[in-house]
Amino acid sequence: MRKKTLLCYSHGLGDIIQLIPVLNYFYQQGHICDLMVRKEVISSKLLNTCPYINKLFPIINPWQSPIGKTKQEKKNCEQWKKLMKQDKYDFGMPILHHNCITPKIDMNFVECGIDPKGKDKSLEVFISSENNKIGMEYIKKNYPNGYILTNSVVAAHPWHSFKHIDWIKKNLLDLPIIDIGDNCKHHIMWKDINITFVLIKEAKHLILNSSVWVHASDALEKTIDLINYGKPDHKVWPLNQSKVLHIKEAGKFIK
């Protein structure tokens, strides 16, 4: 029987993908993890077929809590302590990121008391065969000759939002553009975010603003033509920099 681990992780979808190496590590060590996460992580179905997860518990996003971030984090930690005692977990940890180091993947290991040196830090997404079928049928019907994928709007971090239409027209082939940015036509077309990952997997070109889509692209080992960071945030840069052709940071190209 696997040991039971309970982690409390109140960060967003992209950060969840960067938590996967820790979840995988625990699984390889004979644990199975329950995870306390934002409600939107659960509703996105991001982890529905993740083999390292047993159960998800909803918590309130501290950054959107009416009682404030600090108080909500405290309440989430109290909920974690209660569950730890109630369900008799073997190990657990609230991962708060108060002591920021770079990259964030290493930070997750460190906060769990694990030395990140030498650990497998591979990112993963979990596209089921059914999700892949839905995504591929949509692409075949609507974009049989290929497309460029972008995300112009990042609602949670508006400083990263930017429309790269002029750059695309100047530098890439004349292909249809799919915009999966918040509030755009293709944003959350499906309730399962893993279907949208199929659009990333099959795109001929990716022009992205810092977001979950960057981390999904990194997990899928896709070449990214351009990533825009509205302000420096090197702790969340993709693992494989050789797959990133251009980086724009605070309005200037640095790669």
Same domain, 58 and 147: no
Reported as a single tens digit per residue, the pLDDT across 126-178 is 999 999 999 999 999 999 999 999 999 999 999 999 999 999 999 999 999 99
Q: Which residue has the tokens 């089921």?
A: 128
Instruction: State both tokens at 130.
Output: 């059914």
**What is the domain-level CATH number for residue 228?**
3.40.50.2000
Q: Answer whether residue 120 is part of any domain.
A: no
Same domain, 169 and 239: yes
Reported as a single tens digit per residue, the pLDDT across 47-75 is 999 999 999 999 999 999 999 999 999 99
Same domain, 104 and 150: no
Q: Which of 111, 141, 169 is the last residue of a domain?
A: 111
pLDDT band at 249 (very low <50, low <70, confident <90, very high): very high
Q: Mean pLDDT over all residues of the chain?
A: 95
Q: Which helix (H) or strand (E) holds 223?
A: none
More confident residue, 97 or 20: 20
Same domain, 18 and 102: yes
Range(s) of the domain holding residue 234? 129-253
pLDDT greater than 80 at residue 100: no
**Residues 135, 195: contact at Cβ < 8 Å?**
yes
Q: Answer whether residue 99 is part of any domain.
A: yes
Q: Answer whether residue 118 is part of any domain.
A: no
Q: List the beta strands (DSSP E) in 64-138.
A: 91-95
Reported as a single tens digit per residue, the pLDDT across 170-200 is 999 999 999 999 989 898 899 999 999 999 9
Q: Answer whether residue 187 is part of any domain.
A: yes
Structural domain total, the chain: 2
Same domain, 179 and 232: yes
Q: Answer whether residue 55 is part of any domain.
A: yes
pLDDT of residue 27: 97
Reported as a single tens digit per residue, the pLDDT across 203-239 is 999 999 999 999 999 999 999 999 999 999 899 999 9
Coil, helix or strand for 57? strand
**Residues 212, 13: contact at Cβ < 8 Å?**
yes
Same domain, 9 and 97: yes
**Residues 219, 17: contact at Cβ < 8 Å?**
yes
| Sheet with 252-253, side-by-side order of all strands | 177-179, 148-150, 205-209, 224-229, 244-249, 252-253
Same domain, 135 and 238: yes
Mean pLDDT of all residues in 12-18:
96
pLDDT greater than 80 at residue 98: no
Task: Report how far residue 209's alpha carbon sits from residue 201's, in angstroms, rounded to the nearest whole number.
Answer: 17
pLDDT of residue 1: 85
pLDDT band at 252 (very low <50, low <70, confident <90, very high): very high
Cβ contacts of 188 within 8 Å, gap of 6 or more: 196
